[in-house]
Amino acid sequence: MAMANNKTQCFTCNKEKITYSCKGCSKEFCFMDLAEHHKRLNEELHHIIDDYNAFKERINQQIQNPQNHALINQIDQWEIDSIEIIQQKAKECREILIKLSQTCINDIEKKFNDLTEQIQQLQKENDFNEINFNYLTNQLIEITEELTNPSSISIQRESQSFMKEISIVLSKKSKFNKWKQNGITVAGGNGEGKELNQVNRPIGILIDKKKNIFIADSYNHRVVEWKYNSKEGKIVAGGNGEGHRINQLNYPTDVIIDQQNHSVIIADYNNRRVIRWLNQNQRILIDNIDCYGLAMDKNGFLYISDYQMDEVRRWKMGEYNNEGILVAGGNDKGQKLNHPTFMFVDEDQSIYISDSNNNRVVKWKKGAKQGTVVAGGNGQGRNLNQLSYPRGVIVDHLGHIYVADSQNHRIMRWCDGEEEGEIVVGGNGKGSQSNQLNNPYESKFNKWKQNGIIVAGGNKEGQKLNQLNGPVGMFIDKNKNIFIADRENNRIVEWKCNAKQGQIIAGGNKKGDRFDQLNCPTDVIIDQQTYSIIIADNGNSRVMQWFNQKQQILIDDIDCYGLAIDKHGYLYISDWKKSEVRRWKIGDYDNEGIIVAGGNGQGHKLDQFNCPTFIFVDEDQSVYVSDRYNNRVMKWRKGAKEGAIVAGGNGEGRNLNHLSLPEGIVVNDLGQIYVADLGNDRIMRWCEGIEEGEVVVNGNGEEHQLDGPVGLFFDDGGNLYVTDHFNHRIVKFEVVL
């Protein structure tokens, strides 16, 4: 039997032999030539290794001697050429100047010789007076000036450079320039709720190197981790209900990971603390801080934005037993912050801050005394040079700034130095489609239960301690104790939280004008500096201060109605007869105060009021005034000559663009205006710039109807309190979380 022929031609020796295939070149080699082929491959590999080693040596040399860069030679040559051009030009100019100067000096010398002859002539004739002296002195001054600064000779700098300038151009672009406009839901998206596949008003997020997402699930009072491509998250912090226990959170706003120990650091906003969770063990790092945003730099320093103090502070990791170092904001100079939220810290420890209520992003360089606006800053709006309540901010390696433009429902990119940004994601209106965003970032408190709870009074009209009679203004302290201007009982009563009756803390000695009496008080506030009670004693036309049953008239002969104190300690009082609002510095009342709104007589013009009642002063010292008989709310900015209508102003009525005898007002941190619409027995919310308001509390049901809502107040938990005037009670409407 014949043997099968399995021989093929060798690529090297061209002989028919048993061959072996090389997978690299796909050629056939006999055994001997295959070994030779491998030898050549090894030699080529060594050559490549040598080339790589040589290149590595070049890199090391470049690192050690950066001045040896190839382009440095070009710069050096440009310097030499430019110096030669400059030197040649300077030489030519010197030669010209010397020639011209010599001519000029000759002229001056001639004038000097003439003056010398005149002096000699005066001496010879011995006939001179002051006129001659003045003439000679002035002539000497003129020729001295001409010698020092010859007017006929000057140096002119050409606008066009006579040499070619150079600059360094970086052609590198951002690694990420465009994104698909249809997004993919990677966490939540299963409706509002507290199940593990749901989130409820998520705010801050962090994504680790494995693409796991850590989410500050604010309304669920927890932090959840969603593993990459998972269908649900797991709770890594909180989740034990709203509260202030060490194992609870209350409206967390941001979360970061400490890479050193892999612990979770959380901005526990409503508990006013920054807390660390590590394997279900908790530790409060920083307390008594209105923390919102968190960041950590490459050196391990922790940065925290304080939403109420309008500042950013920095702590060294592990050293929290101090106030930290102020690194941005915190004063009235430079670029003052107004409710800073999220921030980003770059390689140089420059801080980029979302300055939400100023509608801008501000950059504070390390050690700077003030910041610079790098995005927005042109007022609230939808134009490409504007932002509307910016939140999240990230800066890439090229300095491009990405901003979550929350109320415009879009993500913007701003290049440093550019006046306008560009939309990179969203901008297609508010919605839930894959190409839309729905992040208006409304107030933390958006809805309230419509069935209120009676928390003071409600036992019919009367003067007993469990009764009220025509309550008007009120004030609620941090302990949720309610201070009420019990108008028809001529007293101020305090109802402790959950108490069944109140206690008289001012007045209550019948109607009168003695120091220990009140006459139809309309409003009450607490001076936080002295914890004294300040009262609008309307019927006596005076503002009183009560402190431990001691009384003092602060301001007399004023038809006071509403009171307010701003964060700087200034007292504001509405005068309903003079149709104006005046301001006094606390403790300095021996003057007429300063008119900050109105003061132009009764009327309906923008610089007038018709019976101003309650007032509210915001962070910028803008004054919001309930203009009762004009059926509107006015906003007067600090220093303004007239106000702007921000609610109502379309006559008295029940439509959503109407108000009827507005009374109490409160403005939240987003500028939304809440109004006690007395004539319509409802509470309205108006967003500035919107023509219509919306009803937030309507008093549904007979038992819980409102009859003449007057005073308004929010506690720290977002619950809404209403002075129900004709029902002689205070009603609490609980926030819906």
Q: What is the pLDDT of residues 491-527, one digit of tens each?
A: 999 999 889 999 999 999 999 999 999 999 999 999 8
* Residue 733 or 55, more confident: 733
Query: How would residue 172 be classed by pLDDT, with cut points 50, 70 and 90?
Result: very low
CATH of domain 289-445: 2.120.10.30
**Angle formed at CA 727 by CA 725 and CA 730, multiple of 5 degrees:** 65
Query: How would residue 164 be classed by pLDDT, with cut points 50, 70 and 90?
Result: low
Q: CB neighbours (10 Å) of residue 61?
A: 11
Query: How would residue 92 be classed by pLDDT, with cut points 50, 70 and 90?
Result: confident
CATH 2.120.10.30 boundaries in the chain: 289-445, 449-736
434 has a pLDDT exceeding 80 = no
pLDDT of residue 167: 56
pLDDT of residue 170: 46
Coil, strand or helix at 690: coil
Helix (H) or strand (E) holding 327: strand 325-329
Q: Which residues contact 634 (CB under 8 A, 6 or more apart)?
A: 597, 606, 609, 624, 625, 627, 643, 644, 645, 646
pLDDT tens digits for 74-85? Answer: 888 888 888 888
2 has a pLDDT exceeding 60 = no
The CA-atom distances, in angstroms, between 454 and each of 207, 412, 524, 618, 730 are 46, 47, 20, 29, 6
pLDDT of residue 124: 76
* Residue 153 or 18, more confident: 18
Q: How many CA atoms lie within 13 A of 251 on its CB side?
A: 14
Least confident of 328-332, 436-440, 469-473, 714-718: 436-440
Phi, psi of 55, deg, nearest 5: -65, -40
Token couple for 411: 């993500």
Q: Which fold has domain 449-736?
A: Neuraminidase (2.120.10)
Residue 298: name the closest of 313, 317, 272, 284 by CA: 317
Token couple for 435: 């190409």
List, as one string, the DSSP characters of 428-477. Answer: S-BSSSTT-B------S--EE-SS-EEEEE-S-B-SSTT-BSSEEEEEE-
The CA-atom distances, in angstroms, between 96 and each of 93, 149, 153, 401 are 5, 16, 10, 54
Least confident of 99-103, 422-426, 443-447: 443-447
Residue 380: name the closest of 350, 405, 348, 345 by CA: 405
Do 374 and 344 contact (CB within 8 A), yes or no?
no
565 has a pLDDT exceeding 90 = yes
Token couple for 654: 């029940």
Is 0.75 surpassed by the pTM of this model? no
Least confident of 175-179, 389-393, 697-701, 714-718: 697-701
User: In angstroms, rounded to a whole number, what is the distance separating the alpha carbons of residues 452 and 473?
Assistant: 18
pLDDT of residue 163: 62
Phi, psi of 736, deg, nearest 5: -95, 115
